[in-house]
Amino acid sequence: MFGPLRPPRASSKRDWVRPLVGAFVCFLLFRLAFILLYPLVEFFGGRMMGLTLGSLLSAAISGALAMAIFESHKLTDLGLAFRTGSRNNLLKGVLLGIGAASLIVLVPAALGLARFQKVPNPDVSWPAALFVPVLLFCGAMGEEIAFRGFIMQYLARGWGMWTGIIFTGTVFGLLHGDNPGASWISDLNTVLFGILFGLGVQRTHELWLPIGIHFGWNLTLPFAGTRLSGLTIRVTGYEWKWNTGDLWSSNLNRGGNLYWSGGAYGPEASILTTAVIGLLLLVLWKLPLNKEWAWLLDAPVDEPLSAAQPDTPPAS
């Protein structure tokens, strides 16, 4: 059942400048926090922990500060409170992410275009394999808070939801352009992923659905033996290989010919992923979801808070 919503916002008094300033300040705080925290976390836990846990800590700090500075509200009001329908949204997101990533791997394997190949002397262990999902969840949650949290929602407050979705999706994609093996199609797919995650927020007014999709996707690819955004995360003794040589397994070079696997970047740089994202967008547009509540998306812009307008929704 859809949760209660705030009264409609009046557009006549909308502030066009403040959302831009707030989004920029939040992004700057996130980048500064990550620059400071990444080497510290990496020192104690290695590169992967630095990327994932460092991202989550930086996003939480920057989001909390931005909410306190610009709205006098707390971080959970960005759609992180775990309400009645949040569990269902998170679960549906995880299943969507796992299902979509599985298509990328299983369809070529079923067609005889790819195979699972044993890695000689793999450096893997059960404790590490059990810990990897925790780190991947931290990474997915960190990126969603950073991009679909305050930045996207504050832009949406002044410029409209789709402006916020497209702008943050584009920035999200471009920031992945320096990953190993990146190409124009990997950049395009990451932008599309950013738009997909933004649509998840638009449908549910919370972050748990996009966190679930993001986590489910990121979890499946390493366990299937493929690269994740140019990174090799070895958790099993097998890897996924194309059977048809360089024609299919070469990277989609900037200015080169069109290939299919994504090469050094992994399947996220393939046109098969582009098609799967399109399918995900259609599914997400029609999928029954629980709509919850987020301060920046549901609170009136032009009316002061009063006793009749609490900062949390009434019970269902």
- Give the DSSP H/E element, type plus range, for residue 215: helix 208-223
**Residues near 69 by Cβ (< 8 Å), separated by ≥ 6?**
22, 25
Q: What is the dihedral of CA 287, 175, 227, 94, to 10 degrees?
A: -20
Residues 6+ apart with CB under 8 A from 212: 89, 90, 91, 92, 93, 94, 95, 96, 97
3-state secondary structure of 116: strand
Q: Using the predicted structure, report yes or no on whether residue 95 has a pLDDT greater than 80.
A: yes
Among 6-15, 159-168, 202-211, 260-269, whose mean pLDDT is lowest? Answer: 6-15
Q: Is the pTM of this model over 0.85?
A: yes
Q: State pLDDT tens for residues 40-94.
A: 999 998 999 999 999 999 999 999 999 999 999 999 999 999 988 999 999 999 9
Mean pLDDT, the chain, rounded, equals 86
pLDDT in tens, 260-301: 677 788 899 999 999 999 999 999 999 999 999 999 999 876
Q: How far apart are CA 239 and CA 266, in angstroms?
A: 12
Would you list the domain boundaries of the chain? 18-298
Element (H, E) at 235: none
- In this prediction, residue 301 carries a pLDDT of 66
Average pLDDT over residues 28-35: 97
pLDDT in tens, 224-262: 989 999 888 888 888 888 876 544 444 434 433 345 677
Contacting residues for 61 by C-beta, under 8 A, at least 6 apart: 29, 33
CA distance 236 to 316: 45
